[in-house]
Amino acid sequence: MKSGVLSIALYPGTFDPITFGHIDIAVRASQIFSKVIAVVATNPAKNPLFTPQERVEMAREALKNVPDVEVISYDGLVVDCMREYNATAIIRGLRAVSDIDYEFQMAFTNRKMLESAETVFLMPSAEYVYLSSTLVKQIARHGGEIGQFVPDCVKQRMLEKVAV
């Protein structure tokens, strides 16, 4: 199949937790690909605040109104997930130049493992360029307002989590 209009794209990430920046990219991707699968990577090396199950639940709730987007969790290589779901593209969000080194490394490594794996970089709306899950967690831990960065469902879970 010709890649592009009719193809399936994976959108892998830690999503710890999902933010308006992630959602912005998912919406843009859904306008390009026929189906987008947000893949919550278990990623224990990153020591996530939320369990994979919690991250999936929040992402599902946050993306429920975005057409043609579904959310799964996956414990394995992105290229194996691509094979399993017949995906041809990997979506990644690019914020600043500082993202590029790491993203290039991953994109070329994924292509080495699966030649057909194309990584597609999308830029968020300017208001989300400096937004990251890490920042949101730091603000929440110090009692700051996070409602402008994450949807309500995430805000509630975050408040419960940091209160423990």
Residue of 62, 68, 50 whose CA lies nearest to 23 = 62
Asked if 133 is part of the footprint of ligand ADP (rule: CB under 6 A), the reply reads: yes
Asked if 88 is part of the footprint of ligand ADP (rule: CB under 6 A), the reply reads: no
Residue 68 or residue 99: which is nearer to ligand ADP going by CB? 99
Asked if 22 is part of the footprint of ligand ADP (rule: CB under 6 A), the reply reads: yes
C-alpha span between 135 and 147 (Å, rounded) = 13
Asked if 30 is part of the footprint of ligand ADP (rule: CB under 6 A), the reply reads: no
* Contacts of ligand ADP in 92-111 (CB under 6 A): 92-93, 95, 99
Identify which range of 57-65, 70-78, 125-133, 156-164 contacts ligand ADP by CB under 6 A.
Answer: 125-133
Asked if 137 is part of the footprint of ligand ADP (rule: CB under 6 A), the reply reads: no
Q: How far is the CB of 12 from ligand ADP (least distance, A)?
A: 6
Query: In sequence order, what E strands does the chain have?
Result: 8-13, 35-41, 69-74, 89-93, 118-122
3-state secondary structure 22-49: HHHHHHHHHCCCCEEEEEEECCHHHCCC
96, with CB counted inside 10 A (0-12, 13-18, 19+), is exposed
Asked if 132 is part of the footprint of ligand ADP (rule: CB under 6 A), the reply reads: yes
- Whether 116 is a known active-site residue: answer no
Asked if 15 is part of the footprint of ligand ADP (rule: CB under 6 A), the reply reads: yes
Q: Which residues participate in catalysis according to the annotation?
A: 22, 46, 95, 133
